[in-house]
Amino acid sequence: MATSTQISRAIIPPAETSRVHIQQLVQKQREFFNRQGTLDLEFRKQQLNKLLQAVRQKEQQITEALYADFRKPPFESFATEIGFIDLELKHTLRNLDKWAKPKGVKETLLNFPGKSYILPEPYGLTLLIAPWNYPFQLMMAPLIGAVAAGNCALLKPSELTPHISAVIADLVQENFAEEHIAVVQGGVPTTQHLLEQHFDYIFFTGSTKVGKIIMKAAAETLTPVTLELGGKSPAIVTEDADLELAARRITWGKFVNAGQTCVAPDYVLVQEQVKEEFVQLLAQTIKTFYGDFPAESPDFARIVNKDHFNRLKSYLNDGNIRAGGETDEHDLYIAPTVMDQVTWQQPVMQEEIFGPILPVLTFRNLQEAIQTVNKRERPLALYVFSSSKSKQNLVLDSIPFGGGCINDTLSHLANPNLPFGGVGSSGMGSYHGQTSFNLFSHQKSILKRGTWLDLPLRYPPYGNRLSMLQKFFQWL
Ligand code: NAD
């Protein structure tokens, strides 16, 4: 693996894509979909297999691109991007036949004789928009669901990570017909051209602010949307938790990808009597993970660009630094940092941090912690560290949030059988595994009626059949 000095981190955004080119792509995909080009299940499996092989072949290029974009450590690139997609593809390929089958449902006597079932049907043209923080995984994971369900897809990777955006464009161009899957590179103007088109489904991952723009645009054509957004995800640590383990798992979940993770613990709420011990454990764990000089660690990523660097750097004035706090503008480096003495009025607690800064706040009793979280927008993730089942359950029952873990961070995403998504301002809709297949399929409800019996009860003239009908409904 090359070092940071060998790879240029100059961020040259990809050129914008013209409206005309986008219109042509949409038209080609529409024609292909209307010819039922994507309907055949074998075709879909072939394409997913092709994607699996392509990802494996390009593993080195993907790793290098992620390194060039924000010096993502190769271990993390494999664990959270390439390996993740490999597993999701294998899981989908193993189960697709089962998921795609029509599903029978219990019949009602009202429709006797008859049989009811649900036919999963592709929506048609899907637009998939990805952010920069897991730029490969978050572009490919929805693509797997869209293709498995038999849709065409237009992909818009983030312009802030141009190296991986280019690799994704090559991978798709080399392996797929553009009438089925195509990549459109560019920034806001390109996304605006895309949003002028009529898609059948829009899947967006990114900020809550841009999520609102996407939903407004989709409303014009009544296009269904999934919004995978962000927010402030808390980690709650009670006094009876295994503090060492909690410190390790929170340090890992916070500083992987340099904190640029939508489900990273944004801040810690720790019970006040163990706060001091916990802060010290966090500081020690940072040293164990990244050494005395995390800037020299090969296992710690950089901030994606100067704007984000400056935004994060300004948060360092919002409290008392207990670990880290060093910055290097030239290298877009911010050390893994723990802060205390922060208040909810300060910017670091008003916005999603999305970087390697971990504020630690305290609570006296669990009800207070619950109220603190519930006063704010619904989090995408929540982590509770406690050895008490009743405390764990109290948190789960009292706070609405997208998903999370008991005594861990981030790892709920590793299970494809768990739907992943937010609630309220952290998003709508969820995906991964079969949930992705279902998300990208319209559930077409069908009743197949028997023809050998046709009871006249429902047909006019109704005469005096009302009371008979009422009795029948009571009996049902
Ligand atoms: P972003 O919203 O700025 O950008 C996401 C995408 O939208 C990009 O492709 C970008 O080109 C496009 N875009 C940006 N501004 C636009 C505009 N005005 N009009 C139309 N399109 C526009 O998000 P980001 O900075 O790339 O990513 C960080 C955010 O994403 C964080 O809030 C994070 O929590 C969230 N996120 C959520 C998940 C999840 O799965 N829920 C995953 C990763 C990131």
Strand partners, 13: none
| pLDDT higher than threshold 60 for residue 6 | no
Name the CATH superfamily for 19-229+429-443: Aldehyde Dehydrogenase; Chain A, domain 1 (3.40.605.10)
Domain 234-418, CATH 3.30.360.10 — does that match?
no
pLDDT of 10 reads 62
Distance CA(219)–CA(412), nearest Å, equals: 32
Express each pLDDT in 297-321 by its tens digit.
999 999 999 999 999 999 999 999 9
Strand partners, 235: 268, 383
Q: Is 228 a catalytic residue?
A: yes
Q: How far is the CA of 287 from the centre of ligand 1 (A)?
A: 32
Helix (H, G, I), strand (E, B) or coil at 182: strand
Q: What is the mean pLDDT of residues 381-408?
A: 98
Q: What is the mean pLDDT of residues 152-176?
A: 97
Give the helix ranges, DSSP H, for 187-320. 188-196, 208-220, 243-255, 275-290, 306-315
Q: How far is the CA of 406 from the centre of ligand 1 (A)?
A: 28
Express each pLDDT in 59-116 by its tens digit.
999 999 999 999 999 999 999 999 999 999 999 999 999 999 999 999 999 999 999 9
Ligand 1 within 6 A of 81 CB?
A: no
Q: How far apart are the first and last CA of the chain?
A: 69
pLDDT of 13 reads 83
Q: How far is the CA of 204 from the centre of ligand 1 (A)?
A: 8
pLDDT of 403 reads 98
| pLDDT higher than threshold 90 for residue 9 | no
Q: What is the mean pLDDT of residues 156-182?
A: 97
Q: What is the mean pLDDT of residues 152-171?
A: 97
CB 301 within 8 A of CB 70: yes
Q: Which pTM does this prediction carry?
A: 0.95
Express each pLDDT in 234-248 by its tens digit.
999 999 999 999 999
State how far the alpha carbon of 377 is from the alpha carbons of 53, 234, 236, 300, 364, in Å: 41, 11, 16, 30, 22
* pLDDT band, very low/low/confident/very high, at 7 (cuts 50, 70, 90): very low
CB 323 within 8 A of CB 286: yes
Express each pLDDT in 245-274 by its tens digit.
999 999 999 999 999 999 999 999 999 999
Ligand 1 nearest-atom number relative to CA 159 = 11
Ligand 1 nearest-atom number relative to CA 130 = 9
pLDDT of 12 reads 82
Domain regions of the chain by residue span:
19-229+429-443, 234-418
CA 50 to chain centre: 23
Ligand 1 within 6 A of 266 CB?
A: no
Q: What is the mean pLDDT of residues 283-308?
A: 98
